[in-house]
A and B are shown apart, each in its own frame.
Chain A
Amino acid sequence: MIKIINIGMNHETAPVELRECFAAEVGGLVKALTAMRELECIKEGFFLSTCNRVEALITTEAAEEAKQFVISMMSRLGNIPEENFSSSLYTFEDTDAVRHILRVASSLDSMVVGEPQILGQLKEAYAQASRHKTSGVIINRLMHRAFHAAKRVRTETQICEAAVSISYAAVKLAKKIFHVLDGKKVLLIGAGEMAELAAKHLIANGVSSMVVANRTFDRAVQVAELFDSRPVSFQEIGQQLSEVDIVVTSTASPEYVITYDQVKNSFRKRRNRPLFFIDIAVPRDVHPEVNRLENVYVYDIDDLKGVIELNMAQRQQEAVKAERIIQEEVFKFDKWIKTLAVVPTIVSLREKAEYIIQNEMKRSSYAFTDLNHEQNEAIQNLMRSITEKIINDPILYLKKKAASPALNTYLDVTRKLFSLDHDNGSE
């Protein structure tokens, strides 16, 4: 009986120090696939390695041997001893493995649930596997089902649309205000991981120019270099306010950096163009009163968290829907894989029929010598269609029973009834 086995680690089971050992290895994927192809007991193999996960997927008839091989192969790839990472590994078999792969493809297993990259990475890994001819009937089918499930999750639920991180929420809000961020100008005040992440997100979404201000000018220069932008001094902020569209603040300043009057004064020069403040600092940098100005929108960290929590609640419902879709797809795949079990019996049934035809033809061939080609053909066809009709019902019956728990009994009876195991046609 063939088994589908999935061994891997993800952001939940393994710390980043461990995951990066695998991610760093260039060409590791090809090495893994080659090793899998060469091993006899592994029928089909698939390998995925991203910064958040390592997954090996195999089909085999010798489960234990294959598992051991995969683990030792991983140890060689990551260049770390087995005992150092074996506790971080998870192993899924059959239905669980199928479900896991489908969840991975649909980004339900991702660190940032709903992030779209994983599907692309999976597709790329699958392309590699088929290029190196390690994927076969089962993995091909499984991958296509996984892509299909991912598509369904993406189109039928809103799980991918929900904002998950502060910076993503900020970008989404900015888009609700400005529609597109192309050509917009950002002022980054202060530094810090979160502010830089927000800036990075804004740039990735089309923001064209950025200025960086910091109380210590040296630091501003440093950060500006990071983003290929222009540093300005802290005193220039007021003047910059009349030019920029989005302000990201995250200073450690105990009092407000941006005051009501400052923003108000900038507005004549701005000609009322909207201004969006993303205030990530605690304590806050932008005076709350600023939000009362027309065409000014101030979001502090709590507001942004509020946006995210709102999405989280929505996401809970969407996640239930997504899991239901996965369950449906797992069920469909399961049904298919079970039909695989009846395939050998059906094949031997057909072979037996063909064997009988050939044998009987040979035996009666002396009587057919006078027949011309057409008549000969007709006789062959006649025999074929008779045998086809006889074995057709048993075959249909077996296929129907493929998902039944008593399948083995049915297979057994069929093999005995037609004595498939003794009389294999080559006596």
Chain B
Amino acid sequence: MTFLWFNLALFFELLATGGFIVFIIKQQKWVFKYSYRILVAGFICHTIFLGCYYCALGTAPVLDLKSALSFFSWSIICAYLVFQIKFRLMVLGSFVAPFAAFLMIISSIMPWFEGQVKPIFKSLWLTVHVGTAFMGNGLFAIAFLAAIMYLIQEHQIKHKKFGSFYDRLPSLATLDSINHYSLVSGFPFLTVGMITGSVYAQYALGTYWQWDPKEVWSLITWLFYAALLHERLAAGWRGRRAAVLSIICFFILIFTFIGASFWLGGYHSFSSMGSR
């Protein structure tokens, strides 16, 4: 039953992606409307899936890469839906939906997690730690996508070469403020995610910090985002430079998310979570 919801979510998100791609080409408002509704339907299925899976495992479903990617995809869509209410920027969906669907596709081809969940993971702290960290990631993904859109649009205006994206993308000010808001709101989430993680580590492993590779990389990511936010708020950075830095930050974040979990070992890696 749980997996049915996963497949439904995957199906709707792919359908919505198709719709959003048609929308950016055809620029018909009704295409957007339907795609948006389908995406919301997918999001609801996805939420139900996460709920069911949570109950089945007894903890947040992030213990293998498959579930982590699906949760990441969910948090991106969640962040997008919140931003859609605030900015009503139709074209954003055409960037977010493919990205979220891409993560879901990778997630869907991986095998399901089998085996027992270690009792150590059945903790509310883990749920809060993962929930906030992923919400931060979702918001940073929006910042990343807005930055890409910004760079495309800025290039066209600066070099006076107006391609087909010129009319389809919004103004620089809008894109910059989406980048700004998603950074400002994502950063507290990431911070809380790291603090709760460390509290959880104290509770579960007896130490707040143990130089686990993922911990280190998370700290690096956090510092980069902190620097970006500082430059934005204090030094008045905006536009191109802020966009470029938020793209760099996001790549570091992705490395922390995937790389640290696979290649660098440590207790955050998925392989250590699956072993009994």
Contacts and interface: CB of A to CB of B under 8 A. Distances in A.
B238 A179 contact: no
Nearest to A269: B236
Contacts of B239: 272, 274, 294-295
B173 interface: yes
A294 B240 contact: yes
Interface stretch (A131-139, A170-178, A324-332, A368-376): A170-178
Interface string A90-106: 00000000000000000
Nearest to A175: B171
B160 A179 contact: no
Candidate in A177, A178, A291 with the most chain B CB atoms within 10 angstroms: A177
Given A271-B236, A307-B162, A294 B241 contact: yes
Nearest to A291: B158
B157 interface: yes
B238 A272 contact: yes
Contacts of B162: 307, 310
A303 interface: yes
A394 interface: no
B35 interface: no
A273 interface: yes
A176 B236 contact: no
Interface in B213-238: 235-238
Contacts of B166: 176
Contacts of A173: 157
A274 B172 contact: yes
Interface string B144-163: 00000000010001101010
B266 interface: no
Contacts of A274: 172-173, 238-239
B174 interface: yes
A177 B171 contact: yes
B170 interface: yes
A299 interface: yes
Nearest to B241: A294
A380 to B, nearest CB: 53
Interface of A: 173, 175-180, 271-274, 291, 294-295, 297, 299, 303, 306-307, 310
Given A176-B166, A273-B236, 19 more contacts: A173-B157, A175-B171, A176-B171, A176-B172, A177-B171, A177-B173, A179-B173, A179-B174, A271-B236, A272-B239, A272-B241, A273-B238, A274-B173, A274-B238, A294-B239, A295-B239, A297-B158, A303-B160, A310-B162
26 contacts: A176-B153, A176-B171, A176-B172, A178-B172, A178-B173, A179-B170, A179-B171, A179-B174, A180-B173, A271-B235, A271-B236, A272-B236, A272-B238, A272-B241, A273-B238, A274-B172, A274-B173, A274-B238, A294-B239, A294-B241, A295-B238, A295-B240, A299-B160, A306-B160, A307-B160, A307-B162
